[in-house]
């Protein structure tokens, strides 16, 4: 799919009052690839009165949790991953011009309150306030947690793909409540409220974590982590990170694009990392932020575009190495082939591939952490990355004129797709 850029930045106010200064209000600022409307358009936006609490960026679609626990989505719906019950990418664009729509649950779950979300490449997941796990989108390999058969699944014409258009409960988990979930390329990893890790989907590259060699359409506990209390997981295209409550990090799968690199089929502990607070996975690379002095950021994996930030020509690194950033870091995010770090000051640094202008620099790639967004005005609170785009959440405690000024500044500097959503 070719790159599509919006002509100018756009401001969408998500509060009732455009001059509101409520500290807990948040908006989204999106930039980068907009081939599937993942950075927004100025057509038919809804939820102007809502507040965004959490966001997740997939390959070419996004999910957000709105105040009140409602779920909304926009971007590609080719395999139903947006959950808006469109009939695929073409029909969705014909009948529903690019805009933000509510994710539609089954009638018995219409009042569900969503607390955590994950947007993958072609499927999506969410967890409710009582720990129910829902999945939708492409499910051919079992990544939805139930066999790809029955009336719930749509079939791609002249293809083998099967997908679901709306969030469907993963019933095989029974009464086990979930607390965290992450979507990989064609697999899913979920964490129970007791800290146990479950995997399902395609088995290739060891991503299921049990050494098996067949797809699995029902969640199964990762046996080697059964005695470890995991809090969060992150998934790349073919690899997984798991963060424990004590700050330890486990990895499995394969970050390489080289067949000579062996798969890690059973989770292994990263012995040179301790006190981890944040984890993130790109398509083939990883990042971990440690709490020692809030600027200990480690990256490893594929480095073909400088996404590791080590300023080296080495294309692949199997061992986590520190990225030299002097300032204190608040959180991190990995895109397809790039990485970002949100500083405590609110400034956003980025490095790696800049194919879609998501790094807002005048070069195709860079291996050195570079300032890409000044945070003194936006008061940024979080950042998430898709394959070629970035979503920045900022607190709605600046006036409306300031938002417009920021949008004008982005337009004048000719930064790729820059939209307030």
What pLDDT digit, counting tens, does each position of 220-242 carry? 999 999 999 999 999 999 999 99
Tell me the pLDDT band of 326, cut-offs 50, 70 and 90. confident
The separation between the first and the last C-alpha atoms of the chain, rounded to the nearest angstrom, is 23
pLDDT tens per residue across span 133-151: 999 999 999 999 999 988 8
The answer on pLDDT for 40 being more than 60 is yes
Predicted pLDDT at 152: 83
What sections of 117-243 are H helices per DSSP?
Answer: none
**Cβ 153 vs Cβ 123: under 8 Å:** no
Q: Residue 128: its pLDDT value, please? A: 96
Tens of pLDDT, residues 242-265: 999 999 999 999 998 887 789 999
Q: What is the pLDDT of residue 101?
A: 75
Using alpha carbons only, how large is the chain's radius of gyration in Å?
20
Question: Where do we find the tokens 């956003």?
Answer: 348
Q: Which residue has the tokens 């569900």?
A: 112
The pLDDT of residue 56 is above 80: yes
* Residue 398: per-residue pLDDT: 43
Span of 97-111, 213-227, 228-242, 326-340 with lowest mean pLDDT: 97-111
- pLDDT reported for residue 12: 30
- pLDDT tens digits, one per residue of 352-387: 999 998 988 888 889 899 988 887 545 778 899 999
Give the confidence band of 18 by pLDDT, cuts at 50, 70, 90: very low
Percent of the chain clearing pLDDT 90 (strictly above): 55
For residues 407 and 416, is the Cβ–Cβ distance under 8 A? no
What's the chain's average pLDDT? 83
Cα–Cα separations (whole angstroms), residue 361 to 135, 203, 315, 334, 365: 36, 38, 22, 17, 9
């Amino acid at each position: 799919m070719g790159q599509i850029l919006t002509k100018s930045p756009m401001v969408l106010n998500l509060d009732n009052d455009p001059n509101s200064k409520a500290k807990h209000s948040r908006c989204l600022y999106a930039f980068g690839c907009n081939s599937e409307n993942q950075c927004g358009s100025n057509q038919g936006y809804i939820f102007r009165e809502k507040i965004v609490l959490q966001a997740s960026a997939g390959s070419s679609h996004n999910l957000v949790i709105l105040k009140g626990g409602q779920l909304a989505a926009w971007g590609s719906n080719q395999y139903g991953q947006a959950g808006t019950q469109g009939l695929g990418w073409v029909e969705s664009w014909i009948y529903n011009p690019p805009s933000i729509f509510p994710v539609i649950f089954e009638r018995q779950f219409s009042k569900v309150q969503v607390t955590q979300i994950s947007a993958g490449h072609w499927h999506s997941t969410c967890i409710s306030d009582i720990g129910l796990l829902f999945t939708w989108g492409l499910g051919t390999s079992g990544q939805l947690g139930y066999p790809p058969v029955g009336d719930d699944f749509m079939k791609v014409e002249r293809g083998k793909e099967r997908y679901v258009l709306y969030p469907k409960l993963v019933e095989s988990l029974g009464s086990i409540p979930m607390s965290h979930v992450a979507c990989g390329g064609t697999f899913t990893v979920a964490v129970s409220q007791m800290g146990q890790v479950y995997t399902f989907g395609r088995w290739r590259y060891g991503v299921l974590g049990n050494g098996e060699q067949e797809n699995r359409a029902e969640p199964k506990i990762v046996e080697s982590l059964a005695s470890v209390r995991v809090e969060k997981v992150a998934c790349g295209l073919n690899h997984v990170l798991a963060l424990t409550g004590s700050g330890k990090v486990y990895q499995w799968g394969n970050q390489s694009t080289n067949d000579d690199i062996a798969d890690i089929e059973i989770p292994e502990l990263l012995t040179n990392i301790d006190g981890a607070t944040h984890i993130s996975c790109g398509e083939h690379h990883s990042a971990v932020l440690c709490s020692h002095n809030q600027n200990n950021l480690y990256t490893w994996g594929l480095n073909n575009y400088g996404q590791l930030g080590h300023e080296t020509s080495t294309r692949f690194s199997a061992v986590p190495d520190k990225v030299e950033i002097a300032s204190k870091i608040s959180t991190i995010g990995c895109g397809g082939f790039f990485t970002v770090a949100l500083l405590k000051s609110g400034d956003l640094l980025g490095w790696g591939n800049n194919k879609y202008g998501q790094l807002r620099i005048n070069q195709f790639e860079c291996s050195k952490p570079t300032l890409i967004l000044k945070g003194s005005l936006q008061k940024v609170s979080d950042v998430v990355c898709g394959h070629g785009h970035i979503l920045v959440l900022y607190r709605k405690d600046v006036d409306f004129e300031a938002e417009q000024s920021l949008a004008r500044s982005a337009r004048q500097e000719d930064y790729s797709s820059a939209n307030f959503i």
